[in-house]
Every structure is written in C-alpha cells, then in structure tokens.
C-alpha cells in the first residue's frame, strides 16, 4: 500500500484526539521518505560523476579525429555530455533532486500542520466550537446603548 501525501496532510478538526495521536507517526513517515530520497540523490550524484569520468577517460583514450574532429576539451566535453549512459545518470540526478525538493516542501507542510492542530486544540478548549448557551445575544450596538443608559441613570 502506498501512502498519499494529500490525504495524510488533511485532518478533521472534530477528531482532534485521533489527529494528535497520529501526527507524529505520519510526520516521521514523510521525514523518513525525505532522508531516503536524499540518500538516493547522493548515490545518483556519485554515479553521475563516476560515469562522466569514465566516459571522459574513454573518449580521451580512443579519440578518432577522422570521425569526431580535432581533440579539444570542448569536443571531449560535448561527447561526454551526449553519451547515453551519462545522460541517463544525469536524468536520475534530476529525478531524485525533484523528489527531494518535493519532500522538503511536504515535511515543511507537516510542521505547519502541527501549528494548525495546536491552534484548533486551543479553540476547542476555549469553547469556540461549543453550542452557545444563555439567553438572547446582544449585538455591539445594543450593548453600547445599554451602557450609555446605565451611565445616564447613574448621574
């Protein structure tokens, strides 16, 4: 089973007990995915450097001026750049870099999610989601008028 980031980042504010209970493990899962992606990126960068160096050495040793023209640094670099194995290794680096960048943003989103959960808990504890009790609720104008009458009567 693969996990979906979008469903993991969402939470139901009316089930805060469950959300709070699971947040750390969900955060850990995605932070671990980020660590794995960073390792894969490092490995792919190392492979790219190795493959590039091997291709560079091979072209230098077997350069055919009749086929590829004069042997210069630029022409060798061009052959290395266009080498299929080198290109595949570079594509892997790009793929893993994208994955790392995406997971960095995702882990950051979980840090923001924690703040949202904290705020929702404060609202819940403060009674924000409670059903209003008592009698008629006065608006601000009614309260101000009542206060003015009280002050007049006290003079």
Cβ 57 vs Cβ 79: under 8 Å? no
Q: What is the structure's pLDDT at 41?
A: 98
pTM of the model: 0.71
Phi-psi region of 12 (alpha: psi -120 to 50; beta: other; left: phi over 0): beta
Exposed e or buried b per residue across 2-17, where buried means at least 16 C-beta atoms within 10 angstroms of its C-beta: eeebeebeebeeeebe
Q: What is the structure's pLDDT at 13?
A: 85
Here the tokens at position 142 are 């009614």
In angstroms, rounded to a whole number, what is the distance separating the alpha carbons of residues 99 and 82? 25
In 3D, which of 152, 145, 50, 30 has the Cα closest to residue 93?
50
Q: What is the structure's pLDDT at 14?
A: 84
Cα 154–chain centre separation:
62
Q: Where are the domains of the chain?
A: 5-154
Q: What is the structure's pLDDT at 90?
A: 97
Q: What is the structure's pLDDT at 111?
A: 92
Terminal-to-terminal C-alpha distance of the chain: 76
Tens-digit pLDDT profile for the chain (155 aa)? 468 888 898 888 888 889 989 999 999 999 999 999 999 999 999 999 999 999 999 999 999 888 888 999 999 999 999 899 999 999 999 999 999 999 999 999 999 999 999 998 888 888 887 776 655 555 666 667 777 787 777 76
Q: What is the structure's pLDDT at 12?
A: 86
Cβ 120 vs Cβ 16: under 8 Å? yes
In angstroms, rounded to a whole number, what is the distance separating the alpha carbons of residues 91 and 59? 21
């Amino acid at each position: 089973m693969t996990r979906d980031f979008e469903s993991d980042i969402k939470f139901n504010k009316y089930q805060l007990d469950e959300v709070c209970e699971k947040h750390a493990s969900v955060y850990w899962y995605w932070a671990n995915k980020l660590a794995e992606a960073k390792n894969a990126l490092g490995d792919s960068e190392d492979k790219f450097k190795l493959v590039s160096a091997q291709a560079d050495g091979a072209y230098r040793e077997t350069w055919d001026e009749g086929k590829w023209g004069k042997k210069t640094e630029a022409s060798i670099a061009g052959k290395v750049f266009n080498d299929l194995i080198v290109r595949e290794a570079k594509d892997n680096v790009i793929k893993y870099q994208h994955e790392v960048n995406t997971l960095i943003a995702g882990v950051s989103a979980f840090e923001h999610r924690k703040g949202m959960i904290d705020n929702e808990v404060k609202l819940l504890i403060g009674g924000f989601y409670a059903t209003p009790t008592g009698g008629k609720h006065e608006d601000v104008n009614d309260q101000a008028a009542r206060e003015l009458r009280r002050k007049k009567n006290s003079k």
